[in-house]
Amino acid sequence: MEQIKNQHRSLSDIATDSIRDAIIRGDFKMGQAVTEAALSLSLNISKTPVREALSKLESEGLVVSEKNKGYRIFSLTKQEYIELSELRFALESQALRYGFERDRNGMIEKLENILKEMEGFLKVSDREIYQSLDTDFHHVFFESCGNASITNVYSKHQSVIMATRLRNLKKENITKHTSFEQHQALAVCLKDGDLDNAVKLLESHIVNYARESFVEPEMLLN
């Protein structure tokens, strides 16, 4: 992880963002033990903001505290990942329906703009950039749905969703081209006014993929 240099925000907030980003990138293995001392040294800050950051990240589900042992990076079994994906689909599909009803043209315009950017990164080896655009694509549903409660529920699980999606994408279970084609087909359905098929494509993209492609995480148990 990069050492913290920006002092305009609290050290706790900056440490939280730095550790969160590292977990989502896959810098840590699932189940890996992490200590305040090691993170403090890596970030070049005291243990107090690191301790506060770990507490915040535990509330996001990215780390798990263990009595008298410190913290471990989160891990998911296949069944837990499927259940998380089913929850994600339930929230995204409803947000998509509301967005279609309340801000159809605005939502489609945003999705098409993101697709143009995604297409430009299909041949770029850096998957993090493409994954960030992928995340932006799905966020459009929540930006357009006009329902803060749905958005807030999704936000509580967002970090774990992002971390797990990026890890699976890195395992080559799905190519960027396949992912792009799925997103593109969904946008076409919405533009054609075919909401039902758009929702079916979303389910296939999220839930069916989770059932078929999940690779049990490589974990550090010591």
Same domain, 89 and 121: yes
CATH number at residue 138: 1.20.120.530
pTM, two decimal places: 0.82
Whether the pLDDT of residue 171 is over 80: the answer is no
Neighbours of 156 (CB within 10 A): 11
Domain boundary among 73, 100, 116: 73
- Asked if residue 191 is part of any domain, the answer here is yes
Same domain, 147 and 122: yes
Q: Report whether 98 contacts 145 (CB < 8 A).
A: yes
Same domain, 97 and 54: no
Q: What is the predicted pLDDT for the residue at 143?
A: 97
Same domain, 69 and 94: no
Same domain, 83 and 67: no
What distance in Å separates the CA atoms of residue 44 and residue 122, rounded to the nearest whole number? Answer: 36
Same domain, 48 and 113: no
Percent of the chain with pLDDT over 90: 63
Two tokens, residue 47: 């243990």
What residue has token string 């990069």? 2
Same domain, 15 and 82: no
Same domain, 110 and 147: yes
- Asked if residue 171 is part of any domain, the answer here is yes
Q: What is the DSSP secondary-structure string of 6-75? A: --SS-HHHHHHHHHHHHHHHTSS-BT-EE-HHHHHHHHTS-HHHHHHHHHHHHHTTSEEEETTTEEEE--
With the CA atoms of 20, 23, 27 and 32 taken in that order, what torsion angle do they form, in degrees rounded to the nearest 10?
130
CATH number at residue 27: 1.10.10.10
Model pLDDT for residues 87-120, shown as the tens digit of each residue: 999 999 999 999 999 999 999 999 999 999 999 9
Q: What is the predicted pLDDT for the residue at 164?
A: 83
Whether the pLDDT of residue 219 is over 70: the answer is no
What confidence category does residue 78 fall into, taking pLDDT thresholds of 50, 70 and 90? confident
Domain boundary among 73, 92, 125: 73
Q: Domain of 31? A: 11-73
Same domain, 62 and 132: no
Considering only 114-118, 140-144, 205-209, which range has the smallest mean pLDDT? 205-209
Nearest to 43 by CA among 21, 63, 15, 70: 15
Q: In the chain, how many domains are there?
A: 2
Domain boundary among 73, 92, 122: 73
What distance in Å separates the CA atoms of residue 125 and residue 121, rounded to the nearest whole number? Answer: 8
Mean pLDDT, all residues of the chain: 87
